[in-house]
A = this chain, B = another copy of it.
Amino acid sequence: MSSSYGESLRLTIFGQSHSPAIGVTMEGLPAGMPIDMEALQSFLDRRAPGQNRWSTPRKESDAPEFLSGLRDGVTCGAPLTAIIRNQNTRSGDYDNLKNCPRPGHADYTGYAKYGPHRDYTGGGHFSGRLTAPLCIAGGICLQLLERQGIRVFARIRSIAHVQDDAPFTTSVAEKPFPTVDDAAGQAMVQAIDEARRDGDSVGGVVECLVLGAPAGLGDPMFGGMENRISSALFAIPAVKGVDFGDGFAAAALRGSENNDPFAVEDGKIVTATNHCGGILGGITDGMPLLVRAAIKPTPSIVKPQHSVNLSTLEPQTLQVHGRHDPCIVPRAVPCVEAAVAVALYDAYLTAQREKEL
């Protein structure tokens, strides 16, 4: 099913940009887990729009309402559903898009799939706004993983042509602009500003690190951690590539360079290097897990673009109105953390089945 994910922890995300609400149902959460609502809200705030000059000025508070699954703030074993009301569900901003698909958006493919009844307003179910319920689920998983000593954090690795190649070992979530190298961060902000001034947009790469994951998570073949994580990450609109460890760069290495030699540290088997990004044969090896997601530039730009009228097939010049981020990469950082956390916690619960019987 398109909007469901997971094997032991099952997520279903629902809602459209302009429907009464968006939300998520999580099945399979163990009972007895207190949810720290304040921490969850802080996490959601990192994704919310309107916080600074590189995101859309529309201000919308993403405060989830929990409809089920908790008793006194603690999971009770029943499916958990949380929703966020859409406050602005009848925007006229989108009237001109009914028959005129925006380049780089799902407007045309949604029409091709669902026909004239698809919800075109605000991108419907394809809207980036649907990453909010993903972040609710991910924020909960982050808390549950942390209780197991597993921490997940992401940074901006690049924006446009600016790279942050500083070693990534700890959270940068507290920083206003989540890079390791602040000078690189400055240059990235500048690249975003330039794009906005030009009525244009830029993309980038988000890198995510997982510390503390035990060896043995994930499964062979289609159930590998790479399959599971990529499957979750590509649910974030605008992600066009995913790689692990050295990833695409590994394709240019020799085996003797890329293989991570085994060693023993504190009585535990480790690898001396970590080109594989903590995953061998789809299964975690106990080393830091490293994954990157390539984010395409925001398709909604002010510059006029060529489109086609869906009814008349006449060429049309499109100018996207409304408020749009010139760069969604900063807001994608918590989304990547969320997707990785969901995939990881699902694999974690699944691995419980294999515990000694």
Contacting B at CB under 8 A, from A319-357, are 349-355, 357
Q: Are B220 and A78 in contact (CB under 8 A)?
A: yes
Contacting B at CB under 8 A, from A257-273, are 257-264, 267, 269, 271-272
Tell me if A14 counts as interface (CB < 8 A to partner B).
Answer: yes
Contacting B at CB under 8 A, from A92-133, are 101, 103-106, 108-110, 112-119, 121, 124-126, 130
Residues of B near A272 (CB, < 8 A) are 306
Within the complex, which residue of B5, B216, B256, B261 is in contact with A113, where a contact is CB–CB below 8 Å? B216
Copies of this subunit:
4
- Given that A158-B252, A255-B200 are known contacts, is A294 also in contact with B112, CB under 8 Å in the complex? no
Chain B binder among A51-59, A164-172, A297-305: A297-305
Tell me if A235 counts as interface (CB < 8 A to partner B).
Answer: yes
Residues of B near A280 (CB, < 8 A) are 104-106, 108-109
Q: Return A99 CB to nearest CB of chain B, in Å.
A: 12
Q: Please encode chain A, from 38 to 81, with 1 for each CB lying within 8 Å of some chain B CB and 0 for all others.
A: 00000000000000000000000000011111110011111111
Tell me if A147 counts as interface (CB < 8 A to partner B).
Answer: yes
Tell me if A277 counts as interface (CB < 8 A to partner B).
Answer: yes
Tell me if A16 counts as interface (CB < 8 A to partner B).
Answer: yes
Residues of B near A103 (CB, < 8 A) are 259-262, 271
A297 to B223, CA, bound (A): 22
Q: Are B77 and A113 in contact (CB under 8 A)?
A: yes
Residues of B near A262 (CB, < 8 A) are 101, 103, 108, 306-308
Tell me if A140 counts as interface (CB < 8 A to partner B).
Answer: no
Q: Please encode chain A, from 270 to 307, with 1 for each CB lying within 8 Å of some chain B CB and 0 for all others.
A: 01100011011111111000000011111111010111
Within the complex, which residue of B15, B115, B160, B230 is in contact with A67, where a contact is CB–CB below 8 Å? B15
Within the complex, which residue of B1, B104, B113, B301 is in contact with A28, where a contact is CB–CB below 8 Å? B1
Within the complex, which residue of B118, B237, B276, B285 is in contact with A77, where a contact is CB–CB below 8 Å? B118
Within the complex, which residue of B3, B19, B158, B357 is in contact with A352, where a contact is CB–CB below 8 Å? B357
